[in-house]
Structure 1
Amino acid sequence: MSGADEQGDVGTARPLNMIQALNEAMDICMARDPDIVVMGEDVGYFGGVFKATEGLQRKYGKTRVFDTPITECGIMGVAVGMAAYGLRPVPEIQFADYIYPALDQIVSEAARIRYRSAGEFIAPITVRSPFGGGIFGGQTHSQSPEGIFTHVAGLKTVVPSTPYDAKGLLIAAIEDNDPVIFFEPKRIYNGPFDGHYGRPVTPWAKHPAAMVPEGYYRISLGQAKVVRGGGDVTILCYGTMVHVVSAVVEDMKIDAEVIDLRTLVPLDIQAITASVQKTGRCVVVHEATRTSGFGAELSALVQERCFHALEAPVERVTGWDTPYPHSLEWAYFPGPVRIGEALKRVMKD
């Protein structure tokens, strides 16, 4: 359940923000494997809209780090062809909201090529994309579509919550022989907290999970991390919500076990069931809309596997079932009030 799977020659740890950690992961992978290429809108000379690929084109050249036209279906179509040919493409979709034109290429081609070809071809593609709200990006720059991809057999879905995890998980994703959707919570690119939750902005430099070792290490996909141990209630979360939940638990002084899932597919079911069987209570928190969100799958899994241990119904705290409300962004997010109410409900008996 620790999730650590370090390999290689790691060096001194130093504080990085998530963007720097992601950049370093791509840099290390490209230096180790000449078949890795980075592609997407503005990822080359400009270094990406959030600067996650800054400097990579200067270091590796325009044939390995290159800009593409504004056509997500084209980006993914080329990536699938490259992968079938033997390369390991790392396409960036500039915002997760733009990924929908590429769905057919991702779902019908990348996710199925291993099975359709009886293993003759694989799709070692890592699709990086900033997702979620928190930067006042409006309806077309703030969505959380992870539930769409966790539904598709053949895809893996990863959501890091810290710079340390971002680097180790991205290296593991790039080295994986199956397609990985790697969603990056852009709200915490530069720091884990914000004033809306009763705290000043805290830069990653002051957070222990921002201490990122130099050099190569990886975190195996499918291993959750116990962020905070506890005995009264299990809270399942990922991405930005890990930090929101941790702040709420600290404020409420609850003996809660906070589990950062880190990868949604493959899912660390063993870590989840072990925790819920210990605590007897479970709350699921995610930013995406409630109906058919990944929280519904988590709730069903907990009920199926831990029914006799449960002391209360599983609670979900999520975004609202509405198109993303730009002007009411902060009311949309699961925050201290709604998370606190859910915790009180499951712990009242």
Structure 2
Amino acid sequence: MANTTIVGAITDALRIALQQDERVMILGEDVGTNGGVFRATEGLQDEFGEARVMDTPLAESAIIGASVGLAVNGMIPIAEIQFLAFIYPAYEQLVSHVSRIRMRSQGRFTAPLVVRAPYGGGIRAPELHCDSPEVIFAHVPGLKVVVPSTPYDAKGLLLAAIADPDPVLFFEPMRIYRSFREEVPEEYYTVPIGKARIVQSGTDCSLFAWGAMVPVAMQGAELVSKQHGLSIEVIDLRTLSPLDREAIAASVIKTGRAVVLHEAPRNAGFGAEIVATINDLALDALMAPVVRVTGYDTPYPLFALEDAYMPDALRVMEGIMQAIQYEIGARL
């Protein structure tokens, strides 16, 4: 076992994939000589050569376009986008080509590629470095969207994504890249895509989160426990597409209340899909409307206002108490 961070676990997964399958290659801006902006690919070019760990021009559309061609022709490309908000120039490639290859060719071709991208705020970065647009891609049929929150899951989910025959977007929460360590097996293993994780069992309210918001969810749950004596069930979705709807429903049926936490803006955020899922599968169990604790409906602010924008443990506690204290008819 290795005691490592999320970024360390990602590096380990990439190294294992490169060792085990000569079709695997990494491409992106500064992934080779510099080892990536967060050093997730550090040392891999020296170990595997420039043909398999390749620096590209600053052209996201070209990175994804080249990856589609590589994937269709037998390679397994892992494309890195330096920050998720830089991916917008490549959106056309992802929606028009990557997501449609299997359907367009009636199953003759697939696109077994992985797109890695750090996402989210909390690191005092400049504009276009902190966006959290995961819902845009979760909306696209044919794309899988994975968001780990721990080193163990980061390695296992990334190896599962690389082994998947279809395209996977792998969004890495840079806020917690190096914020904690845990024991991670050194050998190959996978974590199933599409399965949520119960971080903490509880009976009074379900709290759903992913990525960098999972530690915030735990902090909020602990605050509620200390101040109000409540038992909060925390669920890490891990995968947004496919979504583990059964796990969501089972938790809400158990607790009767739900709060959804994400750092993306509230309007049409992925939390709305979770609310819809609860309405579809667990409406009769609800004792209060589902509460959303989110970022605000503004562009991500400059770092002086970052702390005011990001959901924190206090806002999570307020959301939970809103669900707990709801009374039928109180708003009529």
The TM-score normalised by the length of structure 1 is 0.91
SS in structure 2 at match of 1:178: coil
Are residues 1:118 and 2:106 paired? yes
CA distance in 2, matches of 1:219, 1:336: 28
1:27 alignment partner, one of 15, 28, 40: 15
Residue 310 in 1 paired to residue 282 in 2?
no
- How many angstroms does 1:118 deviate by? 0.5
Is residue 234 of structure 2 the alignment partner of residue 262 of structure 1? Answer: no
Q: Secondary structure at the match of 1:111?
A: helix
2-side partners of 1:106 and 1:125: how far apart? Answer: 11
Query: Which of these residues, 44, 54, 60, is aligned with residue 66 of structure 1?
Result: 54
1:194 match:
none
Secondary structure, aligned partner of 1:297: helix
Alignment deviations for residues 256-293 of structure 1 (CA, whole Å, 9 cap, x no partner):
10000000111111111111001000000001011111
1:39 aligns with 2:16: no
Structure 1 gaps, min length 5: 1-12, 192-203
1:182 match: secondary structure:
strand
CA–CA separation in structure 2 for the residues paired with 1:89 and 1:46: 19
Aligned twin of 1:214: 186
Tell me by how many angstroms 1:248 deviates: 1.4
Distance 2:220 2:207 in 1: 11
* Contact kept? 2:160, 2:191, Cα under 8 Å: yes
Q: C-alpha displacement at 1:345, in angstroms?
A: 1.0
CA deviations 1:92-151 (Å, max 9, x no partner) are 000001000000111110000110000111111100000000111122100001010000
Q: What amino acid does structure 1 have at the position aligned with 2:62?
A: G
Moved over 2 A (4+): none
Whole-angstrom distance in 2 between the partners of 1:252 and 1:317:
15
Whole-angstrom CA distance in 1 between matches of 2:224 and 2:323: 14
Structure 2: gaps spanning 5 or more residues: 327-332
2:324 corresponding residue in structure 1: 347
Could you tell me the percent identity over the aligned residues? 52
1:244 and 2:207 correspond: no
CA distance in 1, matches of 2:43, 2:287: 53
* RMSD (Å), alpha carbons: 0.8
In 2, the alpha carbon distance for the partners of 1:29 and 1:336 equals: 37
Q: 2:124 aligns with which of 127, 132, 136?
A: 136
Aligned length: 321
Q: Using the alignment, how far apart are the partners of 1:122 and 1:274 within structure 2?
A: 34
Match of 1:228, as an amino acid? Answer: Q
Corresponding residue of 1:336: 313
The answer to whether residue 188 in structure 2 is matched with residue 188 in structure 1 is no
- TM-score normalised over the length of structure 2: 0.95
Report the Cα offset of residue 339 of structure 1. Answer: 1.2
Inter-partner Cα distance in structure 2 for 1:346 and 1:317:
11
Q: Which moved more, 1:136-145 or 1:71-80?
A: 136-145
Q: What are the equivalent positions in structure 2 for 1:46-57 lying under 5 Å apart? A: 46-57=34-45
